[in-house]
Amino acid sequence: MHRFSTNPNAGGVGRAEHISLESEPAESRAAPNPSRPLVQYALSKGGRGVTTCVSILPDHFVSVATQRGGSADELHTIDLRFVEPRPFAIRKVPWNYMYVAIGVTLLTVVTTAICIQWPSIGQRIGGGLTAAALGAFAIACYTMCYYLTTESLLFLSTHGRARVITIAGRLGTIRRAQACAADLVARIKIAQKQFKQTRQAYLRDEMREHARLYEQRVFPEEHYNEAKRRILRAHE
């Protein structure tokens, strides 16, 4: 990947600066070995038979595997040097179910009050059976809201801002993943402190890391292209 920029000099003649991120020789680090983790965290996705396994590997790598029924369906490794040591927590709530549940709850309360205060009117609207049916429907809506609520803990790449580590599941995932996230943050800081590089060398290697993750289908092409643009802008 190359980028050209032109800046005027004292004589008014443009100067072209050529920046190469991929033509430099690659580093000679050993490939990560997911079969020999130092520490491993297994995070269930809330009774759906899906587990996210986060394994801390030697030489400052981490692997993330999604297991269904005991077999790994997806597996990718990440170089911790290029991960931002600050996770983002996201919670998605199906508010349509919540709003319906609240509305039906209020209607249940009103129906019950009518049946108690004005029995004759309550009989016309079905009495206790109507209140019970409304209450059951409200409980079903609350249950669906709880079941469909999801939480995610995300780690982004340093300059590309791409999602490189995602721990997702049902309500409670963020709380269950706190120990794993704290360990990842600590190891990311150690990795970035141990490997001292110039800014250009770091950005070049981060570009390579994004290309490797894209080949592993960690993120789609549009996210990869946007990450490359962000890394190139970091050179300016």
Alpha helices (H) along the chain? 95-117, 119-124, 127-148, 173-176, 178-194, 199-215, 221-234
Residue 25 has pLDDT above 80, yes or no: no
In angstroms, rounded to a whole number, what is the distance separating the alpha carbons of residues 136 and 157? 46
Give residue-wise pLDDT tens across range 206-229: 999 999 999 988 989 999 999 999
**CA-closest candidate to residue 60, choices 181, 159, 186:** 186
In angstroms, rounded to a whole number, what is the distance separating the alpha carbons of residues 230 and 168? 25
Average confidence score pLDDT of the chain: 84
| Mean pLDDT, rounded, for 14-39 | 61
Angle at 40 between CA 38 and CA 45, to 5 degrees: 165
Tell me the percentage of the chain whose pLDDT exceeds 90.
56
pTM, rounded to two decimals: 0.76
State the sign of the Cα–Cα–Cα–Cα dihedral 222, 227, 232, 236.
Answer: positive
Say which residue, 159 or 22, is predicted with more confidence. 159
In angstroms, rounded to a whole number, what is the distance separating the alpha carbons of residues 34 and 22? 26
In angstroms, rounded to a whole number, what is the distance separating the alpha carbons of residues 138 and 144? 10
Specify whether the CB–CB gap between 168 and 60 falls below 8 A: no
Strand partners, 173: none
In angstroms, rounded to a whole number, what is the distance separating the alpha carbons of residues 191 and 54? 17
Give residue-wise pLDDT tens across range 116-158: 888 888 788 787 888 899 999 999 999 999 999 999 999 999 9
In the chain, where are the structural domains located? 37-92+149-234, 95-147
DSSP 18-81: EEESSSSPPP-PPPP-TTS-SEEEEEE-SSSSEEEEEEEETTTEEEEEEEETTEEEEEEEEEGG
In this structure, which CATH number among 1.10.3470, 2.30.29, 2.20.130, 3.30.110 belongs to the domain 37-92+149-234? 2.30.29
How many C-beta atoms lie closer than 10 Å to residue 157's C-beta?
23
Residue 159 has pLDDT above 80, yes or no: yes
